[in-house]
Amino acid sequence: MLKYVLMLAALLPLAGQAQVTPERLDRLAAESQTQVVEWRRWFHQNPELSNREVNTAAHIADALTEMGIEAKTGIAGHGIVAVIEGGKPGPLVAIRTDMDGLPVTEQTGLPFASIVKGEYNGQEVGVMHACGHDAHMSMLLGAAWVLNSVKEDLVGSVMLIFQPAEEGAPAGEKGGASLMLEEGIWKERKPEAVFGIHIGIGVPGGQIATRPGPLMAASDRFQITVKGRQTHGAIPWNGVDPIVVAAQIVLGLQTIASRQVDVTLAPSIVSIGRISGGIRNNVIPDSVELEGTIRSFDQAMREDIHKRMERTASGIAESAGATIEFELELGNPPVVNDPKLLARMMPALERAAGPVVDVTPQTVAEDFSEYAERAPGLFLFLGSGPPDVDPAGLPSNHSPFFDTHEPNLEVGVRVFSNLVVAYLQGR
């Protein structure tokens, strides 16, 4: 798998280079690019759904083994953790990637496009790396090769985290970052800092974008079951119409974000994605289900919104003689970048990737937040398109047309490598 020249270079670091310079890292990142692209194309052509990343994990483990890096496999299902031990004493830092694909049928027309099929919610679906996880894995493997090549001169060590099920475990299963941590990947050795990169998200091609503080939203799922009393559609006064009540609840919930919480503190969103009830045009049903998502950036506001939602729905239902059942499924907490860590790492970021773009908080979610709640974290966006193309005109993440401009992978390898070394060397 690994190119012979890369293996040779890893075994023969340049004499007299006790200091790991940025220039040395850049040279190694450039040397790794051909292999990084090869990894990316294999991952792209062979995606697997969340908690089903069997072949993906085997491919990663083989690559690490060929580098001479010992890996622990089978964590949280198919997760992998490995540590590159530096030649000199120092801190431990971590870099993390996700591994899973999405139930999306690819339409890119790439020569290495996925034709994989899988099962999702009991249906056969196409499977695609439509969110850039193929790029994430290959960039982290590239950084692993670079850092392993200079390990004798590292002042500290780096933990490599390959995490399954970032897109969410199937119903009835556990998975993702929370399960990796629950199974103790940081029990014996906890890193001082953790870094992650995500491809896409509307950033100019090849550029890094981030911000201090809240970067991505918490994501919670809710379901409200409105219980009325069934009757004939011609005589609604003989029953309690849960459809009308559900419609009022939908409107009422929208006043929480717009009228009940402090919009100057942080944005928030309550969206209904599914309404289900009734089977016939002239029968008022017994019940209606509403299902949706809550996005927030502040933990206190998050908890307050949950309480207000149940109170609002219950009050509206009671006014019509109906009742509700409110179910809340907590998802990822918000991704919050440690401001001090970002300030410390900014020179390394700018040297590796040029000026860093400041972004507004993104209402999409990522379970990198689980790591960043336990150690200072820094999460970055890397533009996926060509540098001369407006990202607004490119297919977004989760699109069947989503793709990665492969020269940008080298930027990701440089960024990961420079962040690790800059932190370890105290720069």
Q: What is the pLDDT of residues 246-275, one digit of tens each?
A: 999 999 999 999 999 999 999 999 999 999
| Tokens (6 digits) for 261 | 């919480």
Q: SS3 sequence, the chain?
A: CCCHHHHHHHHCCCCCCCCCCHHHHHHHHHHHHHHHHHHHHHHHHCCCCCCCCHHHHHHHHHHHHHHCCCEEEEECCCEEEEEECCCEEEEEEEEEEECCCECCCCCCCCCCCCCCEEEECCEEEECECCCCHHHHHHHHHHHHHHHHHCHHHCEEEEEEEEECCCCCCCCCCCCCHHHHHHCCCCCCCCCCEEEEEEECCCCCECCEEECCEEEECEEEEEEEEEECECEECCCHHHCECHHHHHHHHHHHHHHHHHHHCCCCCCCEEEEEEEEECCCCCCEECCEEEEEEEEEECCHHHHHHHHHHHHHHHHHHHHHCCCEEEEEEECCCCCEEECHHHHHHHHHHHHHHHCCCEECCCECCCCCCHHHHCCCCEEEEEEECCCCCCCHHHCCCCCCCCCCCCCCHHHHHHHHHHHHHHHHHCCC
> What's the rounded mean pLDDT across residues 103-129?
97
Confidence of residue 13 (pLDDT cuts 50, 70, 90): very low
> What's the rounded mean pLDDT across residues 368-382?
98
Residue ranges covered by each domain of the chain: 4-217+334-424, 218-329
Q: What is the pLDDT of residues 211-224, one digit of tens each?
A: 999 999 999 999 99
154 pLDDT above the threshold of 50: yes
Identify the CA nearest to 150 among candidates 4, 352, 14: 14
Q: What is the pLDDT of residues 45-88, one digit of tens each?
A: 999 999 999 999 999 999 999 999 999 999 999 999 999 999 99
Q: What's the full length of the chain, in residues?
A: 427
Instruction: Name the more confident of 13 and 311.
Output: 311
Ordered strands of the 218-227 beta sheet? 268-276, 287-296, 218-227, 323-329
What is the CATH superfamily name and number for domain 4-217+334-424?
Zn peptidases (3.40.630.10)
Contact 105, 126 (CB under 8 A): yes
CATH class of 218-329: alpha beta
Q: Give burial (CB, 10 Å; 0-12/13-18/19+) of 243.
A: middle
Q: Do domains 4-217+334-424 and 218-329 have the same CATH topology?
A: no
